[in-house]
């Protein structure tokens, strides 16, 4: 997979060419400030998504979850366990399982243009034998359980609720999820696997309202299946969902702004696309990963760095994931639902 210019470099170069003033270059005193196009780097909540944060954003603005607790999870521990999870993903796609046609790489300043610069589909070939594996099959069964428009309440049937349980049961059989649970158990976050699975079900599948006070959304629907709100695509960060929708003619791949450094799967792609009439300006996704791998990394980051940038390492390459909490409703002892999670950056 061809690697584009790192996002931060592309943005800084664009500003230099325009002759704009590049200072300030630090987040000192600027955390969560409003976006200003004249600044060379940014410190707002969405800068990780666009790859244009100042270098000290994480240290000054991305304060760790449990930062004042004796069982805080360190950056080094996150990098170590993410490498173990990466090595444990035996269900991921092999090189020959996917032929990707990434085509045009654009600059971040062009993402709002809504111009289709890629005449061919993103996926040239996918070995669909992957989808017969238990975790893939269970994952696919979940994707048709949602209405993508926000403001329309979700109502699960008994079968759909059973499909959630089946998915959780199947992924917990994998080395990936056993690695994650073992780490979190050692970190005193969960006392039993039953407690862990119960929390995952609430965290990911619990319904809350994004619009009109309807119980119309969940972390799983948003991140993996995708939603439409106010005429725009939100969430939709999963390669399997993308491939299936592209195969049906419902997704039109437009371009990408980032192609990760990995020479095998999983890789990372940040792309632009049209989903059945609705546009996604920046949609980052792992490519070729198993469902349990994505679920594990996003859960790890939500538990360890809720609402923060989470610094990981995969195959020796740094990678960051941003999660957001849903604060308007909670479950259990004030626990928050996951609102979204996505890959925000990875560099050589």
DSSP run (H or E) holding 116: none
Rg, Å, the chain Cα set: 19
Beta bridge partners of 125: 99
SS3 helix, strand, coil % of the chain, rounded to 5?
Answer: 35, 25, 40
Sequence-distant (6+) residues with CB within 8 A of 111 are 257, 272, 281, 282
What are the CB-based long-range contacts (under 8 Å, 24+) for 207-216? Answer: 207/154, 208/326, 208/328, 208/329, 208/337, 209/328, 209/329, 210/150, 210/151, 211/150, 211/151, 212/151, 214/151, 214/152, 214/153, 215/153, 215/154, 216/147, 216/150, 216/151, 216/152, 216/153, 216/154
310 and 322 Cβ atoms separated by less than 8 Å? yes
Tokens of 152: 């329309």
CA distance 150 to 228: 6
CA distance 138 to 158: 15
User: Which sequence positions are flagged as catalytic?
Assistant: 222, 237, 280
292 and 86 Cβ atoms separated by less than 8 Å? no
């Amino acid at each position: 997979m061809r690697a584009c210019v790192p996002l931060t470099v592309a943005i800084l170069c664009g500003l230099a060419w325009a002759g704009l003033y590049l200072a300030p270059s630090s987040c000192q005193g600027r955390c969560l400030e409003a976006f200003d196009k004249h600044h060379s780097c940014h410190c707002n909540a969405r800068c990780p998504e666009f790859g244009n944060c100042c270098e000290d954003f994480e240290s000054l603005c991305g304060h760790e979850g449990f930062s004042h607790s004796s069982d805080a999870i360190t950056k080094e521990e996150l990098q170590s366990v993410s490498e173990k999870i990466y090595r444990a993903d035996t269900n991921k796609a092999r090189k020959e399982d996917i032929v990707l046609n990434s085509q045009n790489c654009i600059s971040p300043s062009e993402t709002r243009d809504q111009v289709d610069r890629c005449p061919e589909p993103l996926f040239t070939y996918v070995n669909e034998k992957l989808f017969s594996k238990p975790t893939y099959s269970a994952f696919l069964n979940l994707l048709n359980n949602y209405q993508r428009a926000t403001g329309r309440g979700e109502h699960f049937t008994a079968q759909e609720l059973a499909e959630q349980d089946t998915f959780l049961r199947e992924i917990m059989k994998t080395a990936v999820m056993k690695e994650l649970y073992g780490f979190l158990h050692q970190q005193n976050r969960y006392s039993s696997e039953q407690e862990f699975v119960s929390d995952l079900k609430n965290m990911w599948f619990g319904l809350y309202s994004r619009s009109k006070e309807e119980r119309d959304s969940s972390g799983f629907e948003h991140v993996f299946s995708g939603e439409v709100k106010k005429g725009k695509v939100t969430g939709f960060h999963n390669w399997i969902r993308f491939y299936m929708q592209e195969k049906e003619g419902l997704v039109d791949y437009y371009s990408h702004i980032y192609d990760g450094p990995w020479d095998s799967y999983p890789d990372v792609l940040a792309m632009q696309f049209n989903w059945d009439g609705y546009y996604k300006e920046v949609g980052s996704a792992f490519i070729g990963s198993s469902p349990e791998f994505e679920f594990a990394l996003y859960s790890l980051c939500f538990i360890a760095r809720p609402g923060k940038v989470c610094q990981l390492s995969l195959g020796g390459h740094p990678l960051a994931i941003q999660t957001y909490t849903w604060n308007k409703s909670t479950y259990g002892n004030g626990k928050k639902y996951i609102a979204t999670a996505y890959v925000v950056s990875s560099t050589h």
